[in-house]
Amino acid sequence: MRLKEDTRKGLQKLGLHTVRDILYHFPARYADESTFISIAQLRDGDHATVRATITALKARKSWKTKVALTEATIEDVSGKLHVIWFNQPYLASMLSVGQTVELTGKVSIHNDKPTLTNPVVREEKVLPIDSMDSLFGKDAHGVLTPIYPETKGVSSLWFSHTIARALAELKEVKDHIPSEILARYSLPSLTTALIWIHTPKSRTDATIARKRFAFDEIFIINLARAQERAKLKERQAYAIDPSVVDIDSFITKLGFPLTGAQQKVVDHILKDLTNDIPMSRLLEGDVGSGKTAVAAIATYATVMNRPLKQGTKQTFGNLQVAYMAPTELLATQQFESFIELFKDTNIQVALITGSGCRKFPTKVSSHHTSWTTISRAQLSKWIANGEIPIVIGTHALIQKSLVFKHLALAIIDEQHRFGLNQRKSLAKKDSHVPHLLSMTATPIPRTLALTIYGDLDLSLLDELPAGRKQVETTLVTPEKRDETYAKIASLLAEGRQAYIICPRIDEPDPDKQKAVIAKSVEAEAKRLQRDVFPKARIGILHSKMTKDKKTEAMEAFARHETDILVATSVVEVGVNVPNATAIIIEGAERFGLAQLHQLRGRVQRSSHQPYCYLFAETKSERTAERMKHFTHAKNGFELAEYDLEMRGTGELAGSSQWGMSDIGMEALRNRKLVEAARLEAYALIERDITISNHAELANRVLAMSGVHFE
């Protein structure tokens, strides 16, 4: 195929390299031409929808009132249209010149010049499987035009033409999904589905084709997980006997009674550990739900057991535990928590990160409560000969040079995936595979958990420790901003600290997105310093900063060298600063509720009354309704389900990180489809662990297994 330079670049940007890639570039949705109106046909007072290309775009402040304005010119073949948005400064960074948009709003015409005021921008990302209303234009009855994710040089029209030609030459493609499975769910063959998804004759055709591809993806992910799980079951882990350990007295020393949820989860885990089949458990619990105590109890039970060698009872040495945290800061915090929990037990705890190693206590059986710095070489030696039972660290833990003698349990905090390969690499010289306890505070709905964590058993910590103060949550309208700032100022005067979170900005190009967010964080910090909190010490945190700068900013805040931390929503979830008792979230309506809940959890860490202020840019009923739901919700998982139902998968925190396509993600709203794909996958692996009867399917599963979500 001969391509224009622009087209070639555009395709590259979209990650499309082959004809096959292009065939798998599915329409984001389908437009019904009969519902659009051309710009030349617009009349004063119309409420209309136009589809056109942005040719100019700028953001500014109005002269007198200082209201934020975003202005654009859009053009279709019939003419030009002026567009203006009030109070939505972030639109300018979400949209870009050259992009095709669909806008719905009120038209006014002065001196023959039409203007569209505050129109709704149609996002091309929405593609529900079952709610046809948003996949197709309302009341569609005309010709369906596929609308593709496009970029400069490759328009939807280009895709339509190119794909039509490719489909015309398409021979029957061999289907990788077993035909009896397709038949069971009335799903079309691969060839039919490709034709229907790109050139549907009806809505039903398109919907069925999408279902087929959604099933396809979820099925393959599940096959990969089922296979991994089956392989793991063939491996051996150290069986841990909780009955030889005085767990109750360890729990008593925690200083608080376990919550019902903690007790239940501890029971699950101890039961798993008694098996010599490796445990694979995911512990989901909101920030502050007490995952550390659970991890510590499992750790204690493990290190108080002795390694068994070939059936003989060995009375010397001990089993080891590795605890991995996602950042140096969190690893260090967890090291300190563990010192606190293990200081009376005579059990040594070590820390290993990129910037050095520590060991507690300074000397074995000394009554010191402090740690000492040691060399990496020395620590490696003590880990290799089994002398140090508990090692906490970052990714440095799974480096080749580090070898455990009797690693029995690996605990992973906030890591998205941690598969068999990593487990094996932790326990290289050992025939045993460690038990795995994975912990997360990221609330995700059940269908997503079942899919991406299909190889793990789930436990939920759905109860906060008693006595935790409920966060007082308020939706703040623009005219009440000053009142809120005054409240924050008085909290600062009492010696508390506050987070201010800048709005989420949706920008398809991740680099551009980071830059835009960084700029908004810096600008907001400056504005707050100048106009609102002149006396406060203000720090900033965003993802464009270097790792060192980020740590520095977080540590300064933790040590109360700054009073306010202006940050993006991506600041580390587990960071613990108990003295921070208020959080302002700008542009709150842009966040998923589960994500807001996570942000709110950061200020719920002390005995002071915590406050959460949601600054919203709109006063719509829907926003009010969502926020009401948010104020009353008990936990993040409830909110994740609610988000999925009401707003789709776009709201899931960090949805890009799960490594699934838009169609796959959207299918998560379809519980039946997800469960069917899962059932079929596990049944197939049960019969045939290597998928030897379906070569093409086995290839695809292999490709999927290579994807790690880290």
Among 278, 290, 389, 445, binds ligand ADP (CB under 6 A): 290
Give the type of residue at 427: A
Q: Which residues contact 512 (CB under 8 A, 6 or more apart)?
A: none
Stretch that binds Mg ion, among 169-177, 536-544, 571-579, 603-611 (CB under 5 A): 571-579
Quote the CA–CA distance of 70 and 91 in Å, as a whole number. Answer: 7
Quote the CA–CA distance of 194 and 220 in Å, as a whole number. Answer: 18
Q: Which of residues 427-466 bind ligand ADP (CB under 6 A)?
A: 441, 465
CB of 612 to Mg ion, least distance (A): 20
Joined tokens for residue 111:
């001196």
Q: Which of residues 228-287 bind ligand ADP (CB under 6 A)?
A: 256, 258-259, 262, 285, 287
Stretch that binds Mg ion, among 203-211, 371-379, 574-582, 670-678 (CB under 5 A): 574-582
Quote the CA–CA distance of 69 and 65 in Å, as a whole number. Answer: 11
CB of 402 to Mg ion, least distance (A): 23
The DSSP H or E segment spanning 627 is helix 621-632
What is the x/- site pattern for ligand ADP, positions 462-491, by CB under 6 A?
---x--------------------------
According to DSSP, the residues that pair with 145 across neighbouring strands are 31
Among 198, 212, 281, 291, binds ligand ADP (CB under 6 A): 291
Q: Which residues contact 243 (CB under 8 A, 6 or more apart)?
A: none
- Complex with ligand ADP: residue 161 or 253, whichever CB lies closer: 253
Q: Which residue has the tokens 């920030």?
A: 287
CB of 332 to ligand ADP, least distance (A): 14
Q: Which of residues 644-673 bind ligand ADP (CB under 6 A)?
A: none
Closest alpha carbon to 586 in 632, 528, 538: 528
Joined tokens for residue 379:
């620590």
User: SS3 of 469, please?
Assistant: coil
Cα pseudo-dihedral 534, 539, 542, 548, rounded to 10: 150
293 binds ligand ADP (CB under 6 A): yes
Quote the CA–CA distance of 520 and 502 in Å, as a whole number. Answer: 7
- Complex with ligand ADP: residue 10 or 290, whichever CB lies closer: 290
The entry of Mg ion, ligand ADP, none near residue 465 (CB within 5 to 8 angstroms by kind) is ligand ADP
CB of 292 to Mg ion, least distance (A): 5
SS3 per-residue string spanning 358-383 = EEECCCCCCCCCCCEEECHHHHHHHH
Stretch that binds Mg ion, among 293-301, 390-398, 567-575, 664-672 (CB under 5 A): 567-575
- Complex with Mg ion: residue 114 or 574, whichever CB lies closer: 574
Quote the CA–CA distance of 669 and 128 in Å, as a whole number. Answer: 8
CB of 591 to ligand ADP, least distance (A): 20
Closest alpha carbon to 322 in 430, 226, 218: 430
- Complex with ligand ADP: residue 413 or 662, whichever CB lies closer: 413
- Complex with ligand ADP: residue 441 or 517, whichever CB lies closer: 441
Q: Which of residues 165-194 bind ligand ADP (CB under 6 A)?
A: none
Quote the CA–CA distance of 688 and 661 in Å, as a whole number. Answer: 27
- Complex with ligand ADP: residue 291 or 405, whichever CB lies closer: 291
Q: What is the DSSP letter of 129?
A: S
User: SS3 of 334, please?
Assistant: helix
Quote the CA–CA distance of 308 and 406 in Å, as a whole number. Answer: 10
Quote the CA–CA distance of 197 and 135 in Å, as a whole number. Answer: 12
Under 8 Å between Cβ of 28 and 69: no
Joined tokens for residue 116:
């569209």
Number of residues in contact with Mg ion under rule CB under 5 A? 1
Among 35, 162, 289, 320, binds ligand ADP (CB under 6 A): 289
User: SS3 of 528, please?
Assistant: helix
Q: Which residues contact 271 (CB under 8 A, 6 or more apart)?
A: none
Stretch that binds ligand ADP, among 84-92, 291-299, 528-536, 607-615 (CB under 6 A): 291-299
Joined tokens for residue 64:
């007198």
The entry of Mg ion, ligand ADP, none near residue 242 (CB within 5 to 8 angstroms by kind) is none
CB of 54 to Mg ion, least distance (A): 44
- Complex with ligand ADP: residue 74 or 287, whichever CB lies closer: 287
Q: How far, in whole angstroms, is CA 56 from its chain's centroid?
A: 34
The entry of ligand ADP, Mg ion, none near residue 445 (CB within 5 to 8 angstroms by kind) is none
- Complex with ligand ADP: residue 278 or 393, whichever CB lies closer: 393
CB of 635 to ligand ADP, least distance (A): 12
Among 292, 320, 562, 598, binds ligand ADP (CB under 6 A): 292
- Complex with ligand ADP: residue 93 or 598, whichever CB lies closer: 598
Q: How far, in whole angstroms, is CA 597 from its chain's centroid?
A: 14
574 binds Mg ion (CB under 5 A): yes
The entry of Mg ion, ligand ADP, none near residue 290 (CB within 5 to 8 angstroms by kind) is ligand ADP
587 binds Mg ion (CB under 5 A): no
CB of 636 to ligand ADP, least distance (A): 11
- Complex with Mg ion: residue 454 or 574, whichever CB lies closer: 574
Joined tokens for residue 314:
């060995």
Number of residues in contact with ligand ADP under rule CB under 6 A? 14
Residues that bind Mg ion (CB under 5 A): 574
Residues that bind ligand ADP (CB under 6 A): 256, 258-259, 262, 285, 287-293, 441, 465
